[in-house]
């Protein structure tokens, strides 16, 4: 029994899931900790998707000033209730996102925020590059689309890899927090300031 409680404790520390959820995940996966983690993540992301349509009218604006006082970020992240907005874990999560903006320099929150003319300009540049490289015409669209995906991953906060754990995207991270906290969470907007830049 001690080994089972030790496994539950380990699983909780790795996933942040509740005791009963951890016990059930371990039972259903024959005490295989890795399979139990996958099981909880799938369940959590499914729960997060169900909550995604709920309104987020509460939240916080976080300010982050990077060491040296040369980079600053203002970031608004919303949730459903004031109770969660005051929650220490939520506030710590928002601070992590503000640090992400400072370090990774995204230009937009999500790909839907990128103006159509910017997308068209990027596509035109990529197409010119592909032609210059002498790639076969049949492959042009696929290569341009691949480069555009990379642009979104670099320029859109939600699609970036998390600076503290590059194996997770910000979108996945938000999904994990929704599953753990139990409320919908949306990243609304941010402004990044860098000394000497307009």
**Could you report the per-residue pLDDT of 81-98, keeping only the tens digit for each?**
888 889 899 999 999 999
What is the rounded CA–CA span in Å between residue 32 and residue 67?
A: 42
What is the rounded CA–CA span in Å between residue 16 and residue 185?
A: 17
Q: Tell me the per-residue pLDDT of 29-40, one tens digit each, with 9 for 90 and over.
A: 888 888 887 877
74 and 162 share a domain? yes
141 and 45 share a domain? no
To the nearest whole number, what is the mean pLDDT of the chain? 85
pLDDT at 197: 77
For 149, residues 6+ apart whose C-beta sits below 8 A from its C-beta are none
The DSSP H or E segment spanning 100 is: helix 88-104
The DSSP H or E segment spanning 153 is: helix 140-155
73 and 88 share a domain? yes
pLDDT score of 47 more than 60: no
Parent domain of 21: 2-51
47 and 139 share a domain? no
105 and 125 share a domain? no
Structural domains in the chain (count): 3
92 and 167 share a domain? yes
39 and 130 share a domain? no
- With H, G, I as helix, E, B as strand and everything else as coil, classify residue 50: helix
99 and 187 share a domain? yes
């Amino acid at each position: 029994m001690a080994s089972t409680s030790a496994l539950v404790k380990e699983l909780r520390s790795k996933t942040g899931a509740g005791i009963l959820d951890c016990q059930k995940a371990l039972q259903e996966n024959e005490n295989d900790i890795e399979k139990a983690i996958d099981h909880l993540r799938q369940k959590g992301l499914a729960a997060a998707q169900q909550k995604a349509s709920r309104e987020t009218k509460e939240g916080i604006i976080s300010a982050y000033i990077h060491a040296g006082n040369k980079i600053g970020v203002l970031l608004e992240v919303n949730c459903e209730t004031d109770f969660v907005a005051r929650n220490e874990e939520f506030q710590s999560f928002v601070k992590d996102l503000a640090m992400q903006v400072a370090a990774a320099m995204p230009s937009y929150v999500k790909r839907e925020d990128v103006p159509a003319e910017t997308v068209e300009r990027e596509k035109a540049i990529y197409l010119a590059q592909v032609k210059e490289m002498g790639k076969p015409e049949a492959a042009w669209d696929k290569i341009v689309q691949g480069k555009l995906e990379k642009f979104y991953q670099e320029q859109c906060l939600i699609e970036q890899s998390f600076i503290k754990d590059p194996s997770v995207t910000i979108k996945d991270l938000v999904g994990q927090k929704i599953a753990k906290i139990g409320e919908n969470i949306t990243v609304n907007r941010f402004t990044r300031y860098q000394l000497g830049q307009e």
